[in-house]
Amino acid sequence: MQFGIFTVGDVTMDPTNGRTPSEHERIKAMVTIAQKAEEVGLDVFATGEHHNPPFVPSSPTTMLGYVAARTDHLILSTSTTLITTNDPVKIAEDFAMLQHLADGRVDLMLGRGNTGPVYPWFGKDIRQGIPLAVENYALLHKLWREDTVDWAGKFRTPLQSFTSTPRPLDDVPPFVWHGSIRSPEIAEQAAYYGDGFFANNIFWPKEHFKQLIGLYRERYAYYGHGSADQAIVGLGGQVFMRKNSQDAVREFRPYFDNAPVYGHGPSLEEFTEQTPLTVGSPQEVIDKTLTFRDTFGDYQRQLFLMDHAGLPLKTVLEQLDILGEEVVPVLRREFAAGRPAHVPDGPTHQALVARRDNQEVSPA
């Protein structure tokens, strides 16, 4: 199991004092949070991609390259790379470059995002969201695996004898997750390629994500990549902790009530009952997170959202200390117990290289 955090990079007023950080402060805070994640023993840091206020991470590979230079072991990923509105050629080259800079500590999650206006901003039609995701990834997949590419599709100019540079590190592309909140077509896409599937697991009840992950597992096996329980699954989650659950609820409530993504809707109590959000003691976070395996089966990556809704940096760093010292060690131990030997570990560059080498020496 891999454990980590993901950020959406929102610039939100702290409702307890009315202060809003500057974009500069927020960006630098995200870097500090990534470094803290490594310090407390987490495995992954992932940033979103947004092109509208109140969010700042418009250039994920720029940020991740900066973080790569300041970390040694942390896997650097995205919690959305917009496959619909980014040019697949640019994605291929940007993430291959990042691979080299980070010595392979890179993967990415492709998605369509949740901001409708981003499509026309980049000259795309939102009504073509799924076809764009399908075609653009088909090209990205090809660019990373063929040195010379000829390509003609519906949504971009043709390519003739094109080579994407730099080539992937060790000729092994970054591992790809396909993220979706609601689209079975994306679960199908992940299964077809034998890639990972990441369920946001924040805004909707677990039954909704259980259906998507179940479909992905079924189709992963159908396409011959392995058994259904060998499919590569990642889950989101959201927590706020204090030693006493009452203190956690009292402290987090104003942030929840004013959060840009879900504030002014269901109450904190309703949201924690109906979704994976956990606000309470470290033990309550452990207990609820362990139920994810009962619902979704053994999985490979658990990412938590920790730094949003105007929470001050000091508080986020405190949360990471609790997560790294009191929660994740127990989760590692408990998730490992009873995990079948044939269920794969979380993806790493080293493991992908080893798998490639083993396939090359295996008899035909």
What is the per-residue pLDDT across 299-356, written as a single tens digit (0 to 9) for each? Answer: 999 999 999 999 999 999 999 999 999 999 999 999 999 899 999 999 999 999 999 9
Chain length of the chain = 364
| 3-class state of residue 111 by DSSP | strand
Give the pLDDT of residue 121: 83
**Which residues make Cβ contacts (< 8 Å) with residue 28, sequence separation at least 6?**
none
Distances, alpha carbon 109 to alpha carbons 63, 162, 210, 303, in Å: 15, 25, 19, 12
* CATH code, residues 2-361: 3.20.20.30
Distances, alpha carbon 312 to alpha carbons 14, 150, 171, 308, 327, in Å: 7, 49, 41, 9, 21
Q: Does residue 60 come out as left (phi exceeding 0), alpha (psi in the -120 to 50 range) or beta?
A: alpha
- Name the burial class of residue 319, with classes exposed (0-12), middle (13-18) and buried (19+) by CB atoms within 10 angstroms of its CB: buried
Q: Is beta strand 81-82 parallel, antiparallel or unpaired with respect to 75-78?
A: unpaired
Give the pLDDT of residue 83: 92
Show the low-confidence residues of the chain (pLDDT under 50): none
For residues 71 and 20, give the distance between their C-alpha atoms in angstroms, rounded to a whole number: 28
Give the pLDDT of residue 115: 72
For residues 201 and 211, give the distance between their C-alpha atoms in angstroms, rounded to a whole number: 12
Give the pLDDT of residue 263: 66
**Quick one: which of 5, 83, 121 has its CA closest to 95?**
83
Give the pLDDT of residue 363: 58
Find where tokens 């800079």 sit: 101
Global pTM reads 0.95
Q: Torsion angle, CA of 149/120/258/314, rounded to 10 degrees?
A: 40
Give the pLDDT of residue 275: 84
**Which residues make Cβ contacts (< 8 Å) with residue 224, sequence separation at least 6?**
none
